[in-house]
Structure 1
């Protein structure tokens, strides 16, 4: 009887390790898509933007696979409460990563319609820096979830305010530019929505960090996320 129970536990552990490996692969794909989308914007590189758009199919497919495997794992192994919480956390976090992929695709789509003469300049550099910070947050939040690392998860959660501040600063800059150059309102609005997509991706990185905290402690954070400026009001 003991040997049989150990066999079941070992089988569950192997299934869980496989699920987490696919989850980390999904994180890598979402991070790469977001980073590549920001680079395509800065260079106004339409072929690079096209590649980001095309890569979203693989992200969607892997996220769907993870959801199906997680549901199958629950049905086949009937995990204990703590193990069930881990599987559910991976499922929720995988959904957040799929949304990040959508935001990267949206950035790439808007990049494709920007003309070579669009006033991208320093604004695209800010978007790239925002994207780089979000990519790091995504990587650390997924690692925190897999390792149940409270310190790392809390660090990611605190950095959400940095993304908000960068977005708010960029928005004010774009608004000023629009008033000074009404003929550029169209491309500047595209830049605004691109920045908003990056900011939303940051929210999903923070959500994954909160799932990591829930997994480690059994409770979601009681304090609301720190917000800055317009985000705090919204």
Structure 2
């Protein structure tokens, strides 16, 4: 984003970008930990993921407050307004990712101590890696304002869909 006449406006925009990066790091950590907890039947790790959800919720509230304050004080136009509104939407998506990681973690105790079959474990792990790579890419391209690169990520999303279908089918074979 270009420099503005009022330096504090740039600082406020950078603060929002930092909050998005922080939420991204926490969401990625929550997803990774929830998958590790699931595959290792680690209830303590799962509980940490559940606890981290409160931090994620607080970060979303902080970002929303910062963005609303910026809009009210600065009345951004065009590109700046799109960036702020995009940050609000992205914060909601990152918070939702945290909720989904929490949901996975909550199911760790329900799955119990039974070992996850090797093929299923590898499939889940590979899918988590693809998701985490996608998450990092989206946030990085957003913060760098590189909309063109988002098309590549959209195409990479198909890999996740294919892996999900394979994992789901594998899971069904173990359920029969």
Query: Structure 2 length normalisation: TM-score?
Result: 0.93
Q: Distance in 2 between matches of 1:67 and 1:120?
A: 42
Distance 2:100 2:117 in 1: 19
- Aligned counterpart, 1:127: 124
Aligned twin of 1:182: none
- 1:98 aligns with 95
Structure 1 unmatched ranges of 5 or more: 1-5, 180-234
RMSD: 1.6
Select the residue among 136, 140, 145 that pairs with 1:143: 140
Match of 2:112 in 1: 115
In the TM superposition, what whole-angstrom CA distance separates every residue of 1:66-89 from its partner, at most 9, and x where no partner exists?
011100100001112221111000
Contact 2:39 2:116 in 1 (8 A): no
Select the residue among 34, 38, 49 that pairs with 1:37: 34
The 8 Å contact of residues 4 and 10 in structure 2, kept in 1 or not, is answered as no
In 2, distance between residues paired with 1:150 and 1:103?
A: 26
Partner of 1:66: 63
Distance 1:167 1:7 in 2: 44
Between the aligned partners of 1:7 and 1:95, the Cα distance in structure 2 is 27
1:143-162 deviation per Cα after TM superposition (whole angstroms, max 9, x unaligned): 10111113431221111111
Q: Which runs of 5+ in 2 are unaligned?
A: none
Count, aligned residues: 174
Return structure 1 stretches of 4+ with deviation > 6 angstroms.
Answer: none
